[in-house]
A = this chain, B = another copy of it.
């Protein structure tokens, strides 16, 4: 496995230069483009890591899985009264669909849906940002995880589109807490810094019927675990979920920091990272690495 990971990174490294590092906030635009890392964690506890797999990066939308899992833990099926679980067929930050569907977001992985999940968590937790950070620390076993305050502040300053979505949902009665407060929590989640190893460990309960292989903690029931994986499979890669299923064939979740986590149910968790993105906001080299990995060792669930 270790050799395979090294090989694959060598094969996809030439793709660096074909994408664009996220630039909507200065703090992200400054990330050096030529980084590439990967980590694979097996349900038996073996960990493989290659390239820049131990360099922390901004997890961005990958945080939406942590928030969702927290919401499922305390509210279960009730959350689906506030949002759907269908793929969106629209760019991740479009308001058009949200208006037509009267403020009910399509799924928890588009921004509007993640904001509703944060709104649900805001009603539950005294300090949602800290609560989520501690959850990520426990899941990854890394107790030094912190959010990048500069990134969080910068995202807040560029909050216009997310604020528009939140206010639109509020106008339909589907947002219960103060918009500004929820946005601050949301951007803190996004600004959490983790590396590939952290993320592979943190997501490993999703490959193991809800039980974390390294800590033994039962995070979700087996059925809930399958449901989260199903959501990632149909909606986890912005408007490229279909392409990811077609090319890679695994449940996964990406972020504009360049990370992609994927789950091989019953076997492995993998996280790949490279900051340059394609037009859909997914890591160019990351997508290619996962496709190659899936082909070589037949990881597709299909």
Contacts and interface: CB of A to CB of B under 8 A. Distances in A.
A8 interface: no
Contacts of A166: 164
A95 interface: yes
Contacts of A106: 89
- Which interface class (under 10, 10 to 19, 20 to 34, 35 or more) fits A? 35 or more
Contacts of A90: 89
A226 interface: yes
A86 interface: yes
A87 interface: yes
Interface stretch (A13-21, A50-58, A239-247): A239-247
A30 B179 CA distance: 29
Contacts of A167: 159-161, 163-164, 167
Interface string A64-91: 0000000000000000000011111110
A300 interface: yes
Contact of A87 (B87, B95, B97): B87
Contacts of A171: 160-161, 164
A100 interface: yes
A87 B89 contact: yes
A231 B242 contact: yes
A144 interface: no
Contacts of A160: 167-168, 170-171, 175
A25 interface: no
Contacts of A185: none
Contacts of A165: 164
A229 interface: yes
B87 A223 contact: no
A242 B300 contact: no
Interface string A100-128: 10000011000000000000000000000
A95 B99 contact: yes
Interface in A213-250: 223, 225-227, 229-231, 233-235, 239-243, 245-246, 249
7 contacts: A87-B87, A87-B234, A89-B97, A95-B95, A95-B96, A160-B175, A227-B246
Interface of A: 84-90, 94-97, 99-100, 106-107, 159-161, 163-168, 170-171, 175, 179, 223, 225-227, 229-231, 233-235, 239-243, 245-246, 249, 251, 265, 295, 300-302
